[in-house]
Structure 1
Amino acid sequence: MLRLLLPALLLAAAAASAQPALDDGAITVSGEGLVSAPPDRAVVRLGVVTEAPTAAEALRQHEDDVARVLARVRSFGIADRQIQIDALQLGQNYGPNGPDGYQATRVVSVTTDSLAAIPDLVASVVESGANRLDGIGYTLSEPGRYRDRALDEAVAQARAKAERLATAAGASLGEVVSIQEQGVGMVPPYRGGAMMDVAVAAVRVEAEPGAYSTGSSQVRAGVVVRYRLVAR
Structure 2
Amino acid sequence: MTFPRPARALCLPALAALLSLAPPLTASALAAEPPSRLDIQAQAELSVVPDRATLEARLWEHTPAVPQGAEREADAEALRQARQRLEERAAALIQRLEAEGLASEAITAGSLQVQPQHLPMARHDDDEGVPQVRTRLLRPVSIEVEDLAQLPGLLDALTEAGVNALDGVRYDLSDREAATDEALVKALEKARHKAKLMAETLGIELGEVIAASETRAPVFQPRMMAMSDARAEGAAPTEYRPGTITIEAGVNVSWALDDAP
TM-score, normalised with respect to structure 2 = 0.68
Once residues 80 and 37 of structure 1 are traced to their aligned partners in structure 2, the CA distance between those partners, rounded to angstroms, is 28
Is this contact kept in 2: 1:85–1:107, CA < 8 A? Answer: yes
Secondary structure (helix, strand or coil) at the match of 2:111 reads coil
Once residues 60 and 202 of structure 1 are traced to their aligned partners in structure 2, the CA distance between those partners, rounded to angstroms, is 31
Rg (Cα) greater in structure: 2
1:59 correspondence with 2:59: no
- Alignment counterpart, residue 101 of structure 2, candidates 55, 62, 77: 77
Secondary structure (helix, strand or coil) at the match of 1:186 reads coil
Shift in Å, 1:18: 9.2
Once residues 185 and 167 of structure 1 are traced to their aligned partners in structure 2, the CA distance between those partners, rounded to angstroms, is 33
Shift in Å, 1:202: 5.3
User: Which structure carries more strand by proportion?
Assistant: 1
Secondary structure (helix, strand or coil) at the match of 1:123 reads helix
Once residues 114 and 146 of structure 1 are traced to their aligned partners in structure 2, the CA distance between those partners, rounded to angstroms, is 19
Shift in Å, 1:185: 2.8
Once residues 117 and 205 of structure 1 are traced to their aligned partners in structure 2, the CA distance between those partners, rounded to angstroms, is 21
- Alignment counterpart, residue 212 of structure 1, candidates 214, 234, 240: 240
1:64-96 CA-to-partner distances (Å, cap 9, x unmatched) read 121111221222222233222333211122222
1:107 correspondence with 2:131: no
2:40 alignment counterpart = 29
Shift in Å, 1:48: 1.0
Matches within 5 A, 1:17-166: 21-22=33-34, 25-53=36-64, 54-97=78-121, 98-165=131-198
Is this contact kept in 2: 1:46–1:132, CA < 8 A? Answer: yes
Is this contact kept in 2: 1:44–1:137, CA < 8 A? Answer: yes
1:174 correspondence with 2:207: yes
Once residues 132 and 138 of structure 2 are traced to their aligned partners in structure 1, the CA distance between those partners, rounded to angstroms, is 17
In structure 2, relative to structure 1, the CA distance for the partners of 1:223 and 1:142 (3 Å cut) is same
Is this contact kept in 2: 1:188–1:218, CA < 8 A? Answer: no
In structure 2, relative to structure 1, the CA distance for the partners of 1:141 and 1:27 (3 Å cut) is same
Secondary structure (helix, strand or coil) at the match of 1:213 reads coil
Counterpart code for 1:192: A
Is this contact kept in 2: 1:172–1:231, CA < 8 A? Answer: yes
Query: Structure 2: any 5+ residue segments left out of the alignment?
Result: 1-20, 24-28, 65-77, 122-130
Secondary structure (helix, strand or coil) at the match of 2:186 reads helix
1:186 correspondence with 2:220: yes
Counterpart code for 2:250: G
Query: More displaced, 213-222 or 43-52?
Result: 213-222
Once residues 205 and 121 of structure 1 are traced to their aligned partners in structure 2, the CA distance between those partners, rounded to angstroms, is 19
**Seq. identity, %:** 28
Once residues 258 and 231 of structure 2 are traced to their aligned partners in structure 1, the CA distance between those partners, rounded to angstroms, is 63
Counterpart code for 2:115: G
1:88-118 CA-to-partner distances (Å, cap 9, x unmatched) read 2111222222334221112211111221221
Query: More displaced, 101-110 or 184-193?
Result: 184-193
In structure 2, relative to structure 1, the CA distance for the partners of 1:19 and 1:174 (3 Å cut) is farther
Q: RMSD over aligned Cα, in angstroms? A: 3.3
Counterpart code for 1:131: N
